[in-house]
Amino acid sequence: MLSREPGLERAETLRSRSARGNIVFAFAIALVLATAYLMREILLLLYVSALFAVVLSPVIRGITRIHIGRWHPGRGLAIFFLLLSLAAAATLFFAFALPPVLRDVQSLVVELPTRGPQLLDRLHKVPFISHLNLSGLNARLQGFASNFAEYLFLSISGWASKLADLGAVLFLTVYFMLEGDEAYHWALSFFPKSTRGRLNETLLRADVRMGKWLVGQGGLMLILGLCSLIVFVLLKIRYAYALAVMMGALNIIPIVGAMVSMTLVLLAAATDSWEKVVGVAIFYAIYAQVETSYLTPRIMKSSVDLSALGVLVALIMGSKLAGVIGAMIAVPTAVLVSVLIQEYLVQRDESEPLPETAPFEVAP
């Protein structure tokens, strides 16, 4: 028998090893994808927490720059001051806003037997509604009241899960703000040294732009709060100041924030007159169009340097993929993707200077 040449045997061995390696690599990729799919909710919480830590990092750095003599707060104390200030603001808001609301609700419950028929008379005077049959309205309201307790009991578990996720995001955000640098360097160490410096500079540019998102979002919240305050005062809406603050604060939550705040405003206006309800509805319909088509794209472009079309597409995709959370993190995520695409996919002229970045030490 003729023996094979050593070169041919070596080539066949290498091909067989390569084939086995490709099979193992394919199984490893499938395993990683399957694990990521099963842990998608946990991975989303981690990503949202890390993103919030990046967005809040300019605020933390600003607090650490405060000097009182030779003393200045460290990172941990700065995070504590930030959380304390948010808790104090929420406490003051509820301390001043809740008492008058509770008094009015209590008086409404006492006067409901006499004010109920008056409300039905007002409904009959409203155009189009006067032609509807309201004879069965009382029975429907009673049925709704009897089913509401059951619905509330069944939804407790869902709300408890959401509150648990919120607590986890808060805890992880604080953790990322405290030890985010170590986690960042650990993740960066998986990349080759030849590409590590470029990736670090790219992510640093993204960090600067993502940190400016909070400034733009704060501007949108302030504009909505001031416009709401002016309109509510002119219309003489009850709790005008508290409702305006709430409208501005909840504007950070896309879609759901507007729905919750507008529902409360419409309920407050409905206790006085239907004209106020119509006025509030017209105001918000106009403002929503102005904010969506003009304010949001331009303010976000000036703060995070994204085009108006990019902002709108990011908001639509984020809300479609992950609901409220996706809409909240859509613009910062779009900034990160934009910086990575510009660095690694867009062909840049060699004579074009790179954006200036602050020095950032990379762990070997």
Lowest mean pLDDT among 75-84, 112-121, 158-167, 279-288: 112-121
> Tokens 């919120």, residue?
166
Distances from the Cα of 291 to the Cα of 77, 219, 276, 283, angstroms: 37, 11, 22, 12
Q: Is the pLDDT of residue 230 over 90?
A: yes
**CA-closest candidate to residue 271, choices 120, 109, 119, 130:** 119
Backbone angles phi, psi at 127, to 5 degrees: -55, 145
Q: What is the pLDDT of residue 154?
A: 55
Instruction: Reply yes or no on whether the pLDDT at 71 is more than 70.
Output: yes
Residue 80 CA to residue 73 CA, distance in Å, equals 10
pLDDT at 349 over 70: no
Cα separation, 211 vs 303, whole angstroms = 9
Distance CA 218, CA 255 (A): 16
Q: Looking at residues 236-241, what average pLDDT do you find?
A: 88
For residue 1, name the pLDDT band (cuts at 50, 70, 90).
very low
> From CA 318, how far away is CA 331, in angstroms rounded?
9
Residue with tokens 């106020």: 276
The whole-number pLDDT of residue 361 equals 40
The CA-based diameter of the chain, rounded to the nearest angstrom, is: 111
Most confident range (mean pLDDT) of 118-132, 278-292, 314-328 is: 278-292
User: How is residue 256 written in tokens?
Assistant: 């759901």
Residue 183 has pLDDT above 90, yes or no: no
Residue 234's pLDDT is what? 92
Per-residue pLDDT tens over the stretch 22-68: 777 777 788 878 887 888 888 888 888 888 888 888 888 888 888 88
Radius of gyration (C-alpha) of the chain in whole angstroms: 28
Strand boundaries in 162-287, DSSP class E:
none
Q: What is the pLDDT of residue 10?
A: 64
Which tokens sit at 171? Answer: 């805890």
What is the residue-averaged pLDDT of the chain? 77
- pLDDT at 108 (0 to 100): 62
DSSP letters, 327-348, are: HHTHHHHHHHHHHHHHHHTS--
In angstroms, rounded to a whole number, what is the distance separating the alpha carbons of residues 231 and 279?
Answer: 9
From the centroid of its chain, how far is CA 250?
10
What is the structure's pLDDT at 117? 61
CA nearest neighbour of 338 among 216, 213, 221:
213
Range 106-142 burial, b when 16+ CB lie within 10 A, else e: eeeeeeeeeeeeeeeeeeeeeeeeeeeeeeeeeeeee
Q: What is the DSSP string of 100-126?
A: HHHHHHHHHHHHHHHHHHHHHHHHHHS
Question: What does the pLDDT look like over 260-298, one tens digit per residue?
Answer: 888 888 888 887 788 888 899 999 989 988 888 788 878
Domain boundaries, the chain: 40-66+73-124+146-190, 211-344
Pick the more confident residue, 115 or 249.
249
pTM given for the model: 0.70
Return the minimum-mean-pLDDT range out of 65-74, 108-117, 145-154, 183-192.
145-154
Q: What are the structure tokens assigned to 189, written together?
A: 């160490």
Specify the pLDDT at position 358. 41
Element (H, E) at 179: helix 156-188
The answer to whether residues 288 and 279 touch, using CB atoms and an 8 Å cutoff, is no
